[in-house]
Amino acid sequence: MQLMELIQRSGLSCTVGLAAANTVSDMEILEITDDSRRAGPGVLYCATRNGRKYIEQAAAAGSVLLLSPSMNAPANASVLRVASPERVMAHLAAGLNGHPSKEMCVVAVTGTNGKTTTTHMLYHLWKKAGLPCALVGTLGLRYFDGEVEVSRETGFTTPRSYELQAILRELLDRGIRQVTIEASSEALSLGRLEALTISGVLFTGLGRDHLDHHRTLASYMRAKRHLFFLAARTKAFFSVYAEDEALHSLRRFAERPCIASRLALPGNTSSSFSLLSAIEFESEITARQPVPTGFNRINAALALFAFERTAGRFASASRTGPHVKGLDLADFSGVPGRMQRLRVSDAIDAFVDYAHSPDSLERVLVEARSIGYNTIIVVFGCGGDRDPGKRPLMGEIAARLADLTIVTDDNPRTEAAASIRAQILTGVAERAGDLLRPALEIGNRSEAIRAALAHARQISVESPARRIAVIVAGKGHETYQIIGREKMHFSDVEEIEKEIERASRSA
């Protein structure tokens, strides 16, 4: 496709200024990227946050460059100047792929916690109803075309805009029109979702996370809220579980005159903006799932809300028609690394969870207690080269809510692992002494997991009637540990399974 035609098909004719000769606008564009390794003739190279370091390499390879006004261009390079390469790239990628989302039902899920579980629950309901469907998120791409299910990795929670648009094109060509996407705050701030036609938004709540990228909670919330702005351009539905400042922020946003017609507040009969109520997430149907914690019931209520509003939209696409009545999540298999339960003994369960923020760790520990565990042992650490402010907060939460806290390593990266643990332990010290609850520091994560299970068995011998939960938090589905710049294989699930097997052999 010629560059000028691509710009017009992308709906950018009024916002993109061409600072190039006519020969540039007539160039054939076959691919869009911000990966310099893919640069070359026929490739539009976008100088995004990821790509701006490699402008000269892309120009030398023969790519047309998409630059901001402040970026220097190599001599004799073919250049387009735009205010935001990230956002323009998203629109151009949509145009190159024929705007697939316009023919689809796209449900975007955002929030600090619960995105992965909610998208998997909605996908499960669609699939159970016989609808061709897909999900895109932290665990990659998964789709069901009505007969066959396929999974593959994508590398990002929310893929880069040109990758996402190509995925949607592929899905649409396979006859799949129901898609749910995890919308990360980073992806929203980088413009990856700008050109999507969004049918619905689910908001799972706001906690502290990703401040290494956003710097402040206000900036983090603005990134999340931006999804509502994008969806307000279409007749999307919205369902929100929000508390405190997050809810107030969304209310203020909804009241803006420019989008009030799209985001009417509850009470308006034409409202598309729904606040999830306790009645909805505490209903009998949300309890019918493998691990019915409070937050999983919220996730289920959001997924059921979206399912009810989307199941019939492309009913003709299903060979058997959608079976929507009586559907629940009783046979939902869960999500790897999200309160993933491993049975250790009759009295002991181990859980692997991705909780790596203060809010998510607190939720996991509170909910474990609420579903009947008398003793809770938690193993966790904090990632290096990330928000250090959350480390003592998480230490305090663990010491307050768990009966035994074991502080270990979790992707220390280029920071000194001992220093990270020390920062966590300052928070532990604030509470552990007051509550007379023990805490251990075991840097080696394998040894920490073994120690936690050994403590659980000892407690079980001394108090056979107690139900014990060993919660290994932070890494979830990840199968690696990053120490320095080296990435090595490591899985919390595998470590627990090895220890269970070892114990069974020695019994």
Q: Is 413 annotated as a binding residue?
A: yes
- Tell whether residue 498 is among the known ligand binding residues: no
Task: Round to whole Å and give the CA distance between 256 and 384.
Answer: 40
**Rounded distance between C-alpha atoms, residue 44 and residue 66, angstroms:** 7
pLDDT beneath 70, residues of the chain:
13-25, 207-215, 217-218, 241-273, 314-326, 432-436, 507
Q: How far apart are CA 93 and CA 88, in angstroms?
A: 9
Instruction: Tell me whether residue 502 is annotated as binding.
Output: no
Q: How far apart are the first and last CA of the chain?
A: 68
Q: For position 227, what pLDDT does the model report?
A: 84
116 is in an annotated binding site: yes
Pairwise CA distance, residues 377 & 398, whole Å = 9
Q: Any known ligand binding at 33?
A: no
Burial of 73 (0-12, 13-18, 19+ CB in 10 A): middle
CATH ID of 340-506, from 3.40.640.10, 1.10.1740.10, 3.30.300.180, 3.90.190.20 = 3.90.190.20
How many C-beta atoms lie closer than 10 Å to residue 42's C-beta? 12
For the sheet with 375-380, list strands across it: 340-343, 348-353, 468-473, 375-380, 404-407, 439-441
pTM of the predicted model as reported, rounded to 2 decimal places: 0.83
State yes or no: 158 annotated in a binding site: yes
Identify whether the C-beta of residue 30 lies closer than 8 Å to the C-beta of residue 51: no
Longest dimension (CA), the chain: 82
Report d(CA 390, CA 392) in Å as an integer: 6
Which pLDDT tens digit goes with each residue over 84-95? 999 999 999 999
Q: Are 483 and 337 in contact (CB under 8 A)?
A: no
319 is in an annotated binding site: no
User: Which architecture characterizes domain 98-317 according to CATH?
Assistant: 3-Layer(aba) Sandwich (3.40)
374 is in an annotated binding site: no
User: What is the DSSP track for 186-227?
Assistant: HHHHTTTTTT---SEEEE----S--HHHHSSHHHHHHHHHHH
Tell whether 41 is in a known binding site.
no
Domain 3-95 part of CATH 3.40.50.1110: no
Q: Binding residue per annotation — 184?
A: yes
- Altogether, the residues listed in the chain come to a count of 507
Alpha carbon distance 305, 200 (integer Å): 10
Q: What is the pLDDT of residue 41?
A: 94
Which residue, 288, 328, 295, is CA-closest to 125?
328
375 a known binding residue? no
**Cα separation, 442 vs 406, whole angstroms:** 7
Return the domain boundaries, the chain: 3-95, 98-317, 340-506
Query: Is 113 among the annotated ligand-binding positions?
Result: yes
| CA 44, chain centre distance (Å) | 28
Tokens linked to 272: 């598309």
Mind listing the pLDDT tens digit for each residue in 198-247? Answer: 998 888 877 655 445 545 766 777 777 788 888 877 777 777 765 545 55
pLDDT of residue 114: 87
386 marked as part of a ligand binding site:
yes
Residue 19: per-residue pLDDT: 46
